[in-house]
């Protein structure tokens, strides 16, 4: 089932909700200060997904030259498999094209099959492996050409 979420650029007031989601869903999470700095950084596109005014997901990408590196992504567990991550990525791809990026890169834990499947569905392909990147797991490096 697809749920219509509002996808928008994050604002400083979103930092607290994003940080709470980081703590709930990401093993090695960003601090509130790191999130606030990324939201304010011109080289970063930080997006949030909202349903009924509540933050249910976020995605950020950092731009350098003609590339975008996905920094972090999460969707609240109760809202997964409803198209929110896809909507966030579609908005990121739009922003990347606008900024002149031709490629988007991301890392995914080699043991995160559902995320890996989503990224393949979005057009990402495996281009490398980072051994021990997550400490207890390797990272698969994926790329999508825009």
Q: C-alpha distances in angstroms, 27 versus 62, 80, 111?
A: 20, 18, 14
pLDDT in tens, 4-52: 899 999 999 999 999 999 888 886 678 889 999 999 999 999 999 999 9
Q: Around Cβ 135, how many Cβ atoms within 10 Å? A: 7
34, containing H or E segment = helix 32-40
Token code pair at residue 15: 């930092």
Residues 57-85, mean pLDDT to the nearest whole number:
95
Q: What average pLDDT is seen over the chain?
A: 93
pLDDT at 2: 57
Query: 41, 71 in Cβ contact below 8 A?
Result: no
Encoding tokens for residue 24?
A: 């709930």
H or E element at residue 129: strand 125-130
Q: pLDDT > 90: what percent of the chain?
A: 86
* Cα-based angle 101, 106, 110 (whole degrees, multiple of 5): 160
């Amino acid at each position: 089932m697809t749920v219509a979420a509002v996808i928008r650029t994050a604002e400083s007031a979103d930092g607290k909700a994003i940080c709470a989601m980081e703590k709930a869903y990401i093993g090695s999470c960003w601090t509130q200060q790191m999130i606030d700095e990324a939201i304010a950084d011109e080289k970063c596109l930080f997006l949030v997904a909202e349903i009924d005014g509540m933050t249910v997901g976020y995605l950020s990408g950092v731009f350098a030259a003609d590339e975008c590196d996905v920094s972090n992504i999460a969707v609240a567990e109760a809202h997964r498999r409803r198209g929110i991550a896809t909507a966030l990525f579609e908005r990121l791809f739009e922003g990347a094209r606008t900024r002149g990026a031709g490629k988007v890169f991301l890392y995914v834990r080699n043991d995160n099959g559902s995320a890996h499947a989503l990224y393949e569905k979005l057009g990402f392909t495996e281009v490398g492996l980072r051994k021990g990147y997550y400490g207890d797991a390797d990272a698969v490096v994926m790329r999508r050409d825009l």
